[in-house]
Structure 1
Amino acid sequence: MKGSRFYFLAILIIAGCTPPQEKEQSTGRALNTQVKFAKKFAVEENAIIVKEPWPGAVAPISYAPDTPPQRVVVTSTTHLAYLEMLGVEDRIVGFPSTQYITSPVIRKLVNDGKITDLGPDGSMNLELLISLAPDAVFAFDMGSESTTLDKIEESGIPVFYNADFLETSSLGRAEWIKFFGAFFGKEKEADSIFTSIVQRYDSLKTLAANTQNQPTIVSGVMYGDTWFLPGGQNWAAEFYRDAGGRYLWENDSTSGWLEISFESVFEKAGEADFWIGTSTFNTKKELAGQDTRYTHFRAFKVDEVYNYNKRLGPTGGYDFFESAYTRPDRVLADLIFILHPELLPDYDTYYFQKLP
């Protein structure tokens, strides 16, 4: 995801934007891929259709990829993971806030001066970006980036909108590797990678479905006076369910995030078996330092608090926000091991770890 903006819940507040006119290209090379889980894009014979390029967009955008780009700027850490999986990370020439990059391969490109830092994610240096002469900019718009992106297009550099963050299912989001595969002429590779992810995910889901015990789960932390946690139809709730857990807000119909008072959360989840997902708090001491009331939760008392902080980059980035959305099978395996360690006795978690 795009730097700190996405750390845990930064995608909660999405402002509206004025949609540009629908774009359509009439020519392009033949594309050979099918989309099954993703709801926000489709691939036709010679076009990629982004159905909702930003929240609340009233018209889709159609792209007809022709020659695969050789020099690109991307604006989200999730884009980095897709490109690395496809083996085209060496085509990245610019990225905003490179300190959030965790991939050793891509960090080396940054350190070697092959990827230019374009400045803070909310205010990219447009002159610097234009000077890099990229063939394409892969961007996302949460409602406040349209002016910047319009200026990039006015300079003659094409901008391609990626809306993977609007998907509500984990496999739907991971399937956006096919979006990049189509642009880079890597449809076959993208299909193969995604198929293997789906197969492993389904196998793990079946394994967890056979468990009789479903431990209860609470998630999230306080921001100011409000506790933010996943809605019942959010991708995080899907993970908890598929891992054989009972998320205490699983019956909620929200696909985004809930904002609830501490008292309401404690009343419902004070006795929850597990607390999973604590934002940037990496120890129980840090949690208690923010709010001593956290210590009253049963999960806190019995040391069953976990966070996605096992893989941190050398400059502070969380790999979870870079590669986890492309590898839901790894996330699911982690959660199954946390909730039902007997099912994966020889497994070592990839993203999650218990807070000391």
Structure 2
Amino acid sequence: MKAKIFSLLLIFLLFSCKKETYTFNTDWQKISERVQFRESGESLELKSGKFSYKIPHSKLPMKKIVLLNASLVGYFTELGREDRIAGVSSPEYIYSDKVLDLIKEGKIADVGSEQKYNVEKIVALKPDAVITNHIASFENTYDLLKKNGIEVFFLDEYLEQNPLVKSKYLLLFGKLFGMDKASVVRFNEIKSSYDSLKALTSKINEKPLVLANEIYGSQWYMPGGKTQLARLLKDAGGEYILKDNTEDKAVPMSFEEVYVKAKNARFWVNAGNHSTKKSLLMMNPGYQKLDVFNGGKIYSISGREKGSANDFFESGVVRSDLVLKDYIRIFHPQLLPDYQLRYLKELK
């Protein structure tokens, strides 16, 4: 009888622990050249850029995270772990309805903005960690948090120039939340979708010339030829006007330089978050001189906006396959005849 009770108790314990498991892997899991992690001794080792961390296994999986930049929210929503967010900065830039509802209900705290973080409120939340992009001018804030026993992890996913690598950050969050298998499955689904979409354009011979971004002041900051956008446009079957450029950052160009290079452009994408061509002209009347403005098609990234929030910079960071799908639908609509644009919007 005692053996039977013990067996039932053991089964109960096994099932009660099933929800949040933590698997160990001593090999480095490489997300990118910038980010990798592995199990070592009693901790999870994480390398992110020039920063290194050791997270005790006793603190995993993490239950409470404070986010200081909205672009990271997409990873939480993709894994269905909005409940792990304890606080956010600048909630006006968050698109997720579920996260916004949790903020309204007081389950997620507003901890200020990049103008001034509320350090006292962050400390009071007692989070397992604060995750943010590294901004040198906020070193004092980071030091204050660390002195109060708060771990600060810097994840600069915006520096990654491969769309799928940004999606792959899901694996790191899966590790932090005890969702290793679920995060691998989700990333593989996104990668498979992206690769299948890319294959659709692999045999396309006619690749339209594409212009991107818009002018600010006297400079048109054009994405370099090795940037994420340049890769997306290539994978979507477009010919980006700076495809031969070797920069992995924005390239400042004069209007005259862009005018010459974009002479035969048929599409203009990522033209800010404008809603109409008239709005675009109000920013710079010179746009009317461009052939693509008069005879081509123009798309902004305003397809999913709510106030100051833009989902292109939230779920779009993670769902590289859906962003690619938008560009394919624009350049080669015959390949996706029933698809409706998600993140991009045609200007009329």
Amino acid at match of 1:255: D
Q: 1:336 aligns with which of 328, 333, 340?
A: 328
Q: 1:42 aligns with which of 13, 36, 45?
A: 36
1:317/1:88 CA distance change after superposition, 3 Å? same
Quick check: 2:23–2:180 contact (8 Å CA) kept in 1? no
Q: 2:60 aligns with which of 64, 67, 84?
A: 67
Partner of 1:18: none
Partner of 1:14: none
Offset, 1:316: 2.3
Tell me the TM-score normalised to structure 2 length.
Answer: 0.88
Quick check: 2:132–2:152 contact (8 Å CA) kept in 1? yes
Partner of 1:355: 347
Partner of 2:314: 322
Q: 2:189 aligns with which of 181, 187, 196?
A: 196
User: For residues 335 and 31 of structure 2, what CA distance do their matches in structure 1 show?
Assistant: 27
SS at match of 2:117: coil
SS at match of 1:204: helix
Higher percent of residues as helix: 2
**1:240 pairs with 2:233:** yes
User: For residues 240 and 276 of structure 2, what CA distance do their matches in structure 1 show?
Assistant: 22
Higher percent of residues as strand: 2
**1:165 pairs with 2:170:** no
Q: 1:115 aligns with which of 89, 102, 108?
A: 108
Report the identity percentage.
Answer: 32
User: For residues 284 and 54 of structure 2, what CA distance do their matches in structure 1 show?
Assistant: 48
Bigger CA radius of gyration: 2
Partner of 1:8: none
Q: How does 1:243-262 map to 2 (within 5 A)?
A: 243-262=236-255
Deviation track 1:137-194 (CA, whole Å, cap 9, x = no partner) reads 1122043232211211111111122121221111111111111111111111110000
**Unpaired runs of at least 5, structure 2:** 1-21
Partner of 1:7: none
Paired residue total: 323
Tell me the TM-score normalised to structure 1 length.
Answer: 0.86
SS at match of 1:251: coil
Amino acid at match of 1:70: K
Amino acid at match of 1:49: L
Q: How does 1:197-276 map to 2 (within 5 A)?
A: 197-276=190-269
Offset, 1:39: 2.2
SS at match of 2:268: strand
Partner of 2:76: 83
SS at match of 1:309: coil
Higher RCO, Cα 8 Å, sep 6+: 1
Deviation track 1:241-276 (CA, whole Å, cap 9, x = no partner) reads 000000010111110111111111111113311100
Quick check: 1:50–1:161 contact (8 Å CA) kept in 2? no
